[in-house]
Amino acid sequence: MLALLFHHSFLQLTQTIADCRIAGIFVSTPVTLTPSGQKLVTVILGDGIGPEVVKATQRIIEASGAAVAWEEQEAGAAVFKRGLPSGVPEETIASIMKTRIVLKGPLETPVGFGEKSANVTLRKLFETYGNIRPVRELPNVKTPYSGRGIDLVVVRENVEDLYAGIEYMQTPGVAECLKLISRKGCEKIVRLAFEVARAEGRKKVHCATKANIMKLTEGTMKRVFEQIAPEYPDIEAHHIIVDNCAHQLVKNPTQFDVIVTTNMNGDILSDLTSGLIGGLGFAPSANLGSGVAIFEAVHGSAPKYAGKNTINPTAMLMAGIMMLRHVGEFDAASLIENAMLVTLASGVATRDVVGDEGAASTSAYTDAIISNLGKRAEGWKTRDYKPINIPQLDIPVDSVRPESRRVIGVDIFVESAQTAEEMGATMTKLVSETPVYLKLISNRGTRVYPPTGALTDNADHWRCRFMLSDSEGDLPDELLYDILQRVGVQYRWMHIEKLQVFDGALGYTKDQGED
């Protein structure tokens, strides 16, 4: 039933994405209006401290006069405990497909209940492929970087990479996780990063990758970035190795404006950047896709603080401000942002900022922001935001189509307690009557056969690389099956990879020590 409901709603959604305007302002995500003309938002209070920070945000948004109405739905712990493994009920899915806009509190996955994170489920169900994490210095939030004027955005790819969560135990002692990077995914996130820069009046985009080591996966992100950057001549484009990016963020963070990166890199870098300006209590995020936008604080549900009226709602409030801008409520967003800055500048803050002595409660801090609506903090400016033009890309599934392709060999991964020399001799004999030869055996990416004389500490997980003797040939599946059968007589195999050549370029990497 859930799948049918989602499929039907998605078909309706795709018909309305292409052209959506509200009061003459382009809105990146379609918005549902109430009969009174308010923008309808699905609100999920969340778990732990979620209800406190979300309700504080709702109070402030309502006090600002924003034309927003709420449709409250459930997800997370309570849903898991009712026996729904996804943590996201049909009613919530239906509401999101109707409103397209979500303000969501933190969700937890209780131990012993559920299968996947409800947070991740929501992002994946609605293909919110771009995670936008703004970071800026705030008044009276003291850090070692106070006074530098940090103001940047991390744009993180949100649905693929290692976070696809495709893992296997290859042997009892060796685990594998597949890192999947698509050209389509890279193009979507790179274009979104440049559009975020334009919408916020920013002048630079850095692409942070580990392309020097992972030349095919991370390298795809780098190549796509460099191909697309010339389409945005008004914005400086720079590639940076991700570890150097982390180093430079600590050393000189103000050199950055927008950083676009892959999922795992973005997860790490965005937490690092939030640490520069005071921590996760000041870290909002937007999960953007072509049809749905989900706004949330980055922090977790912190159940030990739930109900104590002490938690800092600023991250959730800033997510609410991002949401208001996304639905075209720019005046209300600016009104609230300025009131928040005035409140912090006046010294009113929660215990995580000022300590227990003199700390404002969650409700008192909320009241102070409401009382400051209409005021501006001296010396603290807000940006002149424009709508983000989310790229509507009609990219086919087979978006990369080579003119020529060949299979020139195969890697067979096997489990064995033999030595490399023993395996090499046996494998060579097993394929001696076939059109392939054993080129090498590697262990955890390092060639161990033929021996190099190097010292290696091997696991029971070996990659055996077989190549066609005919350098111009194309390995048919029938021959591959024959090789696999021959190897399987002596060894327990668990995984194979075809060695492909696309338009003359190798579609695989070589091992350390391979010629």
Helix (H) or strand (E) holding 110: none
Residue 261: pLDDT above 50? yes
State the average pLDDT over residues 170-187: 96
Lowest mean pLDDT among 125-139, 295-309, 500-514: 500-514
E strand or H helix at 403: none
pLDDT bucket at 14, cuts 50 / 70 / 90:
very low
> What confidence score (pLDDT) does residue 28 get?
56
Query: Which stretch of 15-19, 101-105, 242-246, 416-420 has the lowest confidence by average pLDDT?
Result: 15-19
Say whether pLDDT at 179 is over 50.
yes
* pLDDT level of residue 114 (50, 70, 90 thresholds): low
454, 446 Cβ separation under 8 angstroms: yes
Pairwise CA distance, residues 75 & 98, whole Å: 16
Taking the C-alpha atoms of residue 154 and residue 497, their distance in angstroms, rounded to an integer, is 34
pLDDT at 4 > cutoff 50: no
Decide if 207 contacts 225 (C-beta within 8 A): yes
Flag whether pLDDT at 16 surpasses 60.
Answer: no
Q: pLDDT-based confidence at 7, cuts 50/70/90?
A: very low
Q: Would the pLDDT of 197 be above 80? A: yes
Average pLDDT over all residues of the chain: 91
Rounded Cα distance between 301 and 165, Å, is: 22
Residue 3: pLDDT band with limits 50, 70, 90: very low
Residues 6+ positions from 218 with CB-CB distance below 8 Å: 181, 209, 210, 211, 242, 262
For residues 242 and 392, the model is more confident at 242
Q: Quick one: average pLDDT of 214-230? A: 98
Residue-level pLDDT at 115:
65
Would you call the peptide bond into 450 cis, given omega within 30 degrees of 0 as the criterion? Answer: yes
pLDDT of 13 over the 90 cut: no
Average pLDDT over residues 37-47: 97
- Residue among 475, 473, 493 at smallest CA distance from 430: 493
Reading the block at residue 360, the tokens are 């404002």
Identify the burial level of 51 via C-beta atoms within 10 angstroms of its C-beta, where 0-12 means exposed, 13-18 middle and 19 or more buried: middle
Going along the chain from its start, the domains and CATH numbers come out as 1-128+279-380 (3.40.718.10), 151-276 (3.40.718.10), 405-506 (3.30.70.1570)
Q: How far is CA 8 from CA 68, 75, 340, in A?
A: 26, 21, 41
Contact 371, 171 (CB under 8 A): no
pLDDT tens per residue across span 55-95: 999 999 999 999 999 999 999 999 998 989 889 999 999 99
Q: Is 90 exceeded by the pLDDT of residue 314? A: yes
Across the range 115-135, mean pLDDT stands at 88
Q: Where does the pLDDT of residue 119 fall: very low under 50, low under 70, confident under 90, or very high at 90 and above?
A: confident
pLDDT at 12: 36
Q: Is 262 helix (H, G, I), strand (E, B) or coil?
A: coil
**Helix, strand, coil content of the chain in percent (nearest 5):** 35, 25, 40
**Span 147-162, mean pLDDT?**
96
* Backbone phi and psi for residue 121, each to the nearest 5 degrees, phi listed first: -60, -45
Q: By percentage, how much of the chain surpasses pLDDT 70?
A: 93
